[in-house]
Amino acid sequence: MQGSISDTAESTLNIAQETGAVDHHADHPDHRMFGVAVFLGAETMIFLGLFSAFLTYRLMAPVWPPEGTPGGLELLLPGINTLILISSSFVIHQADTAIKKNDVGGLQKWFAITAAMGAIFLAGQLYEYSHLEFGLTTNVFASSFYALTGFHGLHVFVGLLLMLAVLWRSRKPGHYSNESHFGVEAVELYWHFVDVVWIVLFFLLYIL
């Protein structure tokens, strides 16, 4: 009996303290966007590592793409894809502008359009993959092409999931407002990041 009483007291204490923890969270300003920016900094380093690996292959090879690489890279489809992805960065910014005016409908509209553009980009990428004459293991050029675009594509895909998550959450009235829209801003920043990475990637793989 004694034990059970003190247990109850203890759990009351714990609950009080846990709730206290939630309350205190409002004590300090919101650092989440700063955290997202730092995280994207770390992500940048993965891509820089992969870029430098690619450049090493490129600079060490006498001919690029190496002799015997079947087919080559078309420029038209990836070019259109690039335009779509770059434009989507401007589209997603409209969502940010909308939510700052407390316009949840606008947020949903612009996020849906951005997600659709991302999906078109991925579809275009897959179409390109299926029409290339070289495979993953053909040579180091092919491997690094698939590794780089694939890793970036994975990031685009994650971005789509994040947008769908925001859309799902935005169904609840008041979840996003002009006061509170961390999710929207974070996805936007992430999407810009994915976009900038693609521009570098496009330059390295298709132009250079």
Partner 1 sequence: MAQVEILESPASSPPQAHGGERKWTDYFTFSTDHKVIGIQYMVTGFIFYLIGGVLATMIRTELATPQPDFVTPEAYNGIMTLHGTVMLFLWIVPVGAGLANYLIPLMIGARDMAFPRLNAIAFWMIPPSGILLVSSYFFEAPSAGWTSYPPLSVNTGLVGQGIWILAILVGGTSSILGGLNFAVTMLKMRVPGMTLFKMPLFCWSMLATSMLILIGTPVLAGALILLAFDLFAGTSFFNPAGGGNPVLFQHLFWFYSHPAVYIFVLPLFGAISDVIPVHARKPIFGYQAIAFSSFAISFLGLIVWAHHMFTSGTPPWLRMFFMITTMIIAVPTGIKIFGWLATLWRGKIAYTSAMLFSMGFIATFTIGGVTGVMLAAVPFDIHVHDTYFVVAHFHYILFGGAVFGVYMSVYHWFPKMTGHMMNEFWGRVHFVLTFIGMNLTFMPMHELGLMGMNRRVALYDPQFTDLNVMATIGAYIMAVSTIPFIINAVWSWRYGPKAPANPWRALTLEWQTTSPPAIENFDELPVLKTGPYDYGLGYIPEIDPPELYGKQVSEPTAS
Binding site for partner 1 (CB under 8 A): 9, 12-13, 16-17, 20-21, 24, 27-29, 31-32, 34-35, 38-39, 41-50, 52-53, 56-57, 60-61, 66, 136-137, 139-141, 143-144, 147, 151
- Of 24 and 101, CB closest to partner 1: 24
10 vs 74, beta carbon nearer partner 1: 10
For residue 146 the two structure tokens come to 């698939």
Tell the smallest beta-carbon distance from residue 25 to partner 1 (Å).
8
Distance of CA 153 to the CA centre of its chain: 9
d(CA 106, CA 113): 11
Alpha carbons within 13 angstroms on the beta-carbon side of residue 96 total 17
CB 180, min distance to partner 1, A: 17
Residue 99 burial (CB count, 10 A): 27
Q: Which residue, 16 or 123, is less far from partner 1 as judged by CB?
A: 16
Report in angstroms how near the CB of residue 141 gets to partner 1 at its nearest. Answer: 7
- Give the number of other Cβ atoms within 10 Å of residue 42's Cβ: 8
Nearer to partner 1, 21 or 207 (CB): 21
Tell me the CA distances in angstroms from 140 to 23, 69, 114, one per residue in order: 55, 10, 34
Question: Could you tell me the two tokens for 162?
Answer: 């994040």
Closer of 39 and 206 to partner 1 (Cβ): 39
Min dist. Cβ of residue 142 to partner 1 (A): 8
Residue 84 beta carbon to partner 1: minimum distance, rounded to whole angstroms: 27
Number of H helices, E strands in the chain: 6, 0
Distance (Å, rounded) from C-alpha 202 to C-alpha 147?
Answer: 13
Q: Report the nearest approach of partner 1 to the CB of residue 70 (Å).
A: 15
Distance CA 4, CA 92 (A): 56
The C-alpha atoms of residue 112 and residue 167 are separated, in whole angstroms, by 8
By beta-carbon proximity to partner 1, the closer residue of 53 and 86 is: 53
